[in-house]
Amino acid sequence: MRHLISTLFATAALTATAVCAQAAVYGWNWNPSDGGAYNDRGGVINWVQSSFDTQTKQLSWYMNFGEVPNRPLLKTEGFTLALTGGPAMAGTEGNLGLFYFDGLSSSSPKLTVYGYNGRNDGSSYFDGTCDNNINAPDQMFTSLEPTAASWVLDLKNQREADRSRTFGFTIDASHIIDYTPEYTTGGAAWTGTGYGSMIGAQVNTYAGLDAQYYTNGYLKKWQGGKEGSLSLAYRPTLPYTNPVPEPASLLLLGGGLGIAGLIRRRRKSA
């Protein structure tokens, strides 16, 4: 078995090298054994799976959550997300979008996007800048707007057989990448979201979430009873030449077995 895993790793590395120059789609998986600055106070993150098509700008991000440690009556009900092509968050406004995923309703999850103010406290929905003043938020997009179908392709809030919960979305991120931010005083150029051969991410998770909305579909309140986080930078991704499989269809075992599973699926589809 050890020899098999070593062989699979070698095959994956050679395949990645061969297709890197022509890859349009990059995939990335994470589980707790992969490290990063992670705490589970907002709920245990069992796995993350993401893909980004650098040509079509289609972005997928799915997370599976377990229990909230020491709080059996609470459950993870939402998360925020900012993505880069590798670097850690700059800590300034005007360069990234921040996703707010609201999973309070199993039948109608919600997604809003704001200009990220550079602070990892979830405040971007009411404060657009990182200075000591409260400035109007940069309201970018909401899934509650009538034109949401032009950029929202999938919103998922699914309870699994093992009682875990899968949250996530697939979107046309070109709207975010091409966006002109309200604030540009941070100095860093606007990239919006997405990644390539490297990924950086700031995720904040919320258990016991209270999310309320104005009539225009943007957030009026976002507050969690317990909050957790996952922060990482310059993590390598895996290039694909074929479309990435749907997240729910993969058995995410992490590490070498995760790569092995991806290789097996690619062989089957060949």
Confirm if 185 and 93 have CB atoms less than 8 A apart.
yes
> How much is the pLDDT for 228?
98
Instruction: Report DSSP letters for 189-220, one per residue.
Output: PP-BS--SSEEEEEEEEEES-EEEE-TTSSEE
Q: Is 257 helix (H, G, I), strand (E, B) or coil?
A: helix
Kindly give the pairing relationship between strand 37-39 and strand 226-236. Answer: antiparallel
Q: To which H or E segment does residue 49 belong?
A: strand 45-53
Is the pLDDT higher at 17 or at 241? 241
> How much is the pLDDT for 5?
38
pLDDT(216) > 60: yes
Is the pLDDT higher at 256 or at 188? 188
Nearest partner of 97 among 251, 201, 213, judged by Cα: 201
Q: Is 188 helix (H, G, I), strand (E, B) or coil?
A: coil
Average pLDDT for 178-185: 91
Alpha carbon distance 266, 241 (integer Å) = 10
Confirm if 179 and 57 have CB atoms less than 8 A apart.
no
Average pLDDT for 10-18: 44
Which two structure tokens, joined as six digits, stand for 194?
A: 């997405």
Task: Please provide the average confidence, as pLDDT, over all residues in the chain.
Answer: 86
Give the Å distances, CA to CA, from 88 to 133, 144, 237, 260.
24, 30, 15, 29
pLDDT(21) > 70: no
pTM passes above 0.85: no
Is the pLDDT higher at 91 or at 241? 91
- List the domain boundaries for the chain: 24-254
Question: Which of 20-24, 136-140, 146-150, 238-242 has the weakest average pLDDT?
Answer: 20-24
Q: At what angle do helices 255-269 and 2-19 cross, to 10 degrees?
A: 60
Average pLDDT for 50-64: 98
> How much is the pLDDT for 36?
94
> How much is the pLDDT for 7?
43
Amino acid at 58: Q
Q: How confident is the model at residue 240 (pLDDT cuts 50, 70, 90)?
A: confident
List, in order, residues 6 or more apart from 180 with CB less than 8 Å away. Answer: 190
